[in-house]
Structure 1
Amino acid sequence: MTMVKALFYLLGFMTLASALFVAASKNLVRSVFMFFVTLLSLAGLYVLALADFVAITQVVIYVGGILVLMLFAFMLSGKETLSNIQQQNSRFISVSHLPVLLLAVLFFIVLINILFKADINNLQWTNKAASYKLDVRPDSQMTSNIGTNLMTTYLLPFEAISILLMMALVGAAHLSRKEKKA
């Protein structure tokens, strides 16, 4: 087994195990910190797939932004709300969860079926991309191409999204401030 394959299996296991822990844990603090592990290991999988821009975006936006937002929401929420959330007594397998569990099992069966029937080494779309020389190589300059396109062709949508995010940040700061009692 090569080092890349071993690293892929390790990162894949870390991603799946931490995501399952996030979904199954009743402790919100542990769930948020395991979500951090999930997002970082997913970024590692992106690096292994030679998608460096997506990996950097994953770390900056999700780990740096969304996770911090979740931590602030957790810290700003009252003790009563947190205790009510943690005291909810729900079992993992119950009649109310049966449709969701059935859908998840069916989805898992479809994934396993596709995994065993697919010839990974001879996929039509990868062979076609390789024949047109469209496959991603480690020496590709993809990140610089994305940056050039963002600052030339797609500058207006990029700036519109930045203004929208700034408005969301101002709105979140306004909503989180405490009201003075009269």
Structure 2
Amino acid sequence: MTLKALFYLMGFMTLASAVFVAASKNLVRSVFMFFVTLLTLAGLYVLALADFIAITQIVIYVGGILVLILFAFMLSGKETLANLQQQSSNFISISKLPALLLAVLFFIVLINILFKSDINNLQWVKEAVAGKNTFTPTDNTVNNIGINLMTTYLLPFEAISILLMMALVGAAHLSRKENKT
């Protein structure tokens, strides 16, 4: 399987799972398809030779944000979930018209840029290739980021992790049901 075919397959899986997340009425299925969306997006980063961003995608979004969404889902009461399920089921309605118009306008702008730009003849791309200012798979950028993260930036990294843990504990405490006896 060529890289181009693999890219198109991963792109299709990412878009299909994202559309399913947005259109699904079942919250549990949406959360698990969001997991698929984030993992296939990490796969696209790997294909783009952005290994560090792919690993960050998996660790932060799949490992952190998605787990936080699952906690919020599990800690929410049945009444809240029932209210979410009973909301308007119309995919297109008058109340959603401004968002739909904005999405269509954004799509038109993207398509216009795609057709009018000649990516291979951009000046900054030519200058980067001429100056040999490009990344290759053998560059050690991930190694340098890891060394800097565990030496120079260790204190801010640990402070952020403690802050996020405190936020998670606080959210769990606030969402806990109190017994009124």
With normalisation by structure 1, the TM-score equals 0.91
Letter in 2 for 1:118: S
**Residue equivalent to 2:82:** 83
**Residue equivalent to 1:122:** 121
Q: How does 1:40-79 map to 2 (within 5 A)?
A: 40-79=39-78
Shift of 1:19: 0.6
Q: 2 CA distance for matches of 1:130 and 1:150?
A: 29
Please tell me whether the aligned partners of residues 14 and 37 of structure 2 are also in contact (alpha carbons under 8 angstroms).
Answer: yes
Please tell me whether the aligned partners of residues 52 and 143 of structure 1 are also in contact (alpha carbons under 8 angstroms).
Answer: yes
- The one-character-per-residue Cα deviations of 1:17-49 (angstroms, maximum 9, x if unpaired) are 111111111110110111011000000000011
**Is the aligned partner of 1:168 residue 2:164?**
no
Unaligned 5+ segments in structure 1 are none
**Residue equivalent to 1:149:** 148
Please tell me whether the aligned partners of residues 76 and 175 of structure 2 are also in contact (alpha carbons under 8 angstroms).
Answer: no
**Residue equivalent to 1:34:** 33
| Structure 1 range deviating more: 34-43 or 169-178 | 169-178
DSSP-derived class of the 2:91 partner? coil
Shift of 1:16: 0.8
Moved over 3 A (4+): none
Q: 1 CA distance for matches of 2:155 and 2:74?
A: 36
Letter in 2 for 1:19: A
- The one-character-per-residue Cα deviations of 1:151-174 (angstroms, maximum 9, x if unpaired) are 333333223212212321332332
With normalisation by structure 2, the TM-score equals 0.92
Please tell me whether the aligned partners of residues 126 and 135 of structure 1 are also in contact (alpha carbons under 8 angstroms).
Answer: no
Aligned length: 181
Q: 2 CA distance for matches of 1:50 and 1:73?
A: 34
Aligned-CA RMSD value = 1.6
Please tell me whether the aligned partners of residues 26 and 86 of structure 1 are also in contact (alpha carbons under 8 angstroms).
Answer: yes
Q: 1 CA distance for matches of 2:163 and 2:61?
A: 17
- The one-character-per-residue Cα deviations of 1:71-118 (angstroms, maximum 9, x if unpaired) are 121122111111111111241211111111111111000100111111
| Structure 1 range deviating more: 127-136 or 71-80 | 127-136
DSSP-derived class of the 1:89 partner? coil
Letter in 1 for 2:104: V
Please tell me whether the aligned partners of residues 13 and 40 of structure 2 are also in contact (alpha carbons under 8 angstroms).
Answer: yes
Q: 1 CA distance for matches of 2:95 and 2:57?
A: 34
**Is the aligned partner of 1:111 residue 2:110?**
yes
Shift of 1:177: 3.5
